[in-house]
Amino acid sequence: MKLPKIQDADLRGKIVLIRVDHNVVKKGRIKDPYRIDASLDTIQYVISKGGKPILMTHVGRPRNKKTGEIDISDKTSVKPIIEYLKKKTGLIFLTPDEVDFQNHEIDNLLKDLKSNEISGIYLPNVRWFEGEESGGEKTRMFGNELANLADVFVNDAFGSWQPHASTIEPTKYLPSYAGILMQKEIENLSKVLNPQRPLVAVIAGSKFDTKIGTLTSFLKMADYLVLGGVIYNAYLCAKYGFKISGITDEDLKAAQEFLKFSDTFSDKILELPFIIESDVLEEKIAEKFRIRNIIEIKPGTKLNFILDVSTKSFELKKVKDIFHDARTIFVNAVMGFTPNFYEGTFSLNSLIDQNKNANKLFGGGDTLQEFKTLLPGIYNLALKDEKYYFFTGGGTILKAVKEGTAFGLEPVKALMRERIL
């Protein structure tokens, strides 16, 4: 089974429908354009080969899960992305006003695209169309309408692992290829799945149960696993019998299950003993927080909020040695409760940067955002450093790690399915 690549496609004069993951608009504004920048290679490649691009992405989650109603508003529009593309690259993309392709508007845009009057078309947020997520006949029909607009389909949206109309259906009708970013992400993912050892994985998060599959996978696969955030708190409760404010029964239960599983691998979990206890969530106030050492806390002790890992943890020789000796480091983690509790993440990322030999791979929107906010100097250097890689997909990476392969992801499988065209 081989992944069909955009480099193998004949694009000259073709209309190329490209699924990107430009899910970077929050409340109508672009928070971090990293994902757009990461997709420029593919867009420019298509144009350089004489192809005419139609872009599409999802933005946010405009569909109300309970009522099924879709909120079509500026909050989840692709317009800020179009403006950004113009400013950054000079390319002019036009978007239809109608959220519907059964009208003359799209025909006119296609005419302008074919005669090179515009650089490309940018379709409205795909989640504004019912068929995108509904499944069934509506999804099939929407997918068919999308495919009817183009000659070739390219999926470059590695971050969008969900099997929705825009990530799956066009592959049923059009010659379909993986974009350059998609290829790059899969290659870098294999550096995590087939790592140079030792591999250290750092995983944090606000809910234990959503990450348990990934954590157990890493426990088997990695040489060391470091935990942070609520996940670490729940683990500490399960392992040492602490009672930590804010840890739900659900988290505790998941952590207990994980602990049972981790028994045979327990020396792989690198515990960070110095943690920060705070009496208040909202602020870091001098008299209201303190460093605690888990080794000195008695089982059954009630603790207030644990909101960060102390810098002191990262100064321990054992911890430093493990990070210095690693050859692969994967991070999907913000260690503290943002924005006030950041010393854990700052110390973690600083320590990792000292290791110049390791492949350092970071994934997850919050992980990248916090890195950029706290350590902009290192972040900017890292963008140009081939030992670093920043994944555009966070959830996708965790899912692929859980499954042990990128080739189980539905949109990737759809690209590889053999079909008679």
The residues binding ligand 3PG (CB under 6 A) are 21, 23, 61, 159-160, 162, 365, 394-395
Nearest residue (CB) to ligand 3PG, 304 versus 369: 369
Rounded least distance, CB 164 to ligand 3PG, Å: 8
Report d(CA 80, CA 131) in Å as an integer: 24
23 binds, among ligand 3PG, Mg ion, none (CB under 5 to 8 A by kind): ligand 3PG
Nearest residue (CB) to ligand 3PG, 198 versus 395: 395
Return the closest-CA partner of residue 328 out of 389, 382, 396, 406: 389
Size of the site for Mg ion (CB under 5 A): 1
162 binds, among Mg ion, ligand 3PG, none (CB under 5 to 8 A by kind): ligand 3PG
Rounded least distance, CB 264 to ligand 3PG, Å: 32
Nearest residue (CB) to ligand 3PG, 9 versus 154: 154
Rounded least distance, CB 24 to ligand 3PG, Å: 8
Report d(CA 263, CA 319) in Å as an integer: 21
Rounded least distance, CB 398 to ligand 3PG, Å: 10
Whole-angstrom CA distances from 226 to 79, 247, 252, 332 are 40, 19, 18, 10
Report d(CA 357, CA 62) in Å as an integer: 43
Chain Cα centroid distance, residue 387: 19
344 binds, among ligand 3PG, Mg ion, none (CB under 5 to 8 A by kind): none
Nearest residue (CB) to Mg ion, 96 versus 394: 394
Burial of 18 per CB tally in 10 Å (0-12, 13-18, 19+)? buried
88 binds, among ligand 3PG, Mg ion, none (CB under 5 to 8 A by kind): none
Rounded least distance, CB 365 to ligand 3PG, Å: 6
Give the x/- contact pattern for Mg ion in 378-407, rule: CB under 5 A. Answer: -----------------x------------
In the bound complex, which residue of the shown chain has the CB atom lying closest to ligand 3PG? Answer: 23
Return the closest-CA partner of residue 239 out of 317, 295, 320, 200: 295
61 binds, among Mg ion, ligand 3PG, none (CB under 5 to 8 A by kind): ligand 3PG
Rounded least distance, CB 22 to ligand 3PG, Å: 9
363 binds, among ligand 3PG, Mg ion, none (CB under 5 to 8 A by kind): none
Q: E strands of 279-375, at which residues? A: 289-293, 302-303, 305-309, 328-332, 359-362
159 binds, among Mg ion, ligand 3PG, none (CB under 5 to 8 A by kind): ligand 3PG
Residues 6+ apart with CB under 8 A from 251: 207, 208, 209, 230, 231, 233, 234
Nearest residue (CB) to Mg ion, 24 versus 270: 24
Rounded least distance, CB 394 to ligand 3PG, Å: 6
Residues 6+ apart with CB under 8 A from 200: 222, 223, 224, 225, 226, 270, 322, 323, 326, 328, 329, 330
Nearest residue (CB) to Mg ion, 24 versus 272: 24
313 binds, among Mg ion, ligand 3PG, none (CB under 5 to 8 A by kind): none
* Long-range contacts of the stretch 239-244 (C-beta < 8 A, 24+): 240/294, 240/297, 240/299, 241/299, 241/300, 242/294, 242/297, 242/299, 242/300, 242/301, 242/302, 242/303, 243/300, 243/301, 243/302, 243/303, 244/303, 244/304, 244/305, 244/306
Q: Three-state DSSP class for 239?
A: helix
Rounded least distance, CB 364 to Mg ion, Å: 8
Rounded least distance, CB 341 to ligand 3PG, Å: 23
Nearest residue (CB) to ligand 3PG, 205 versus 344: 205
* Number of CB atoms found within 10 A of residue 168's CB: 21
Token code pair at residue 316: 């321990």
Binding-site ranges for Mg ion (CB under 5 A)? 395
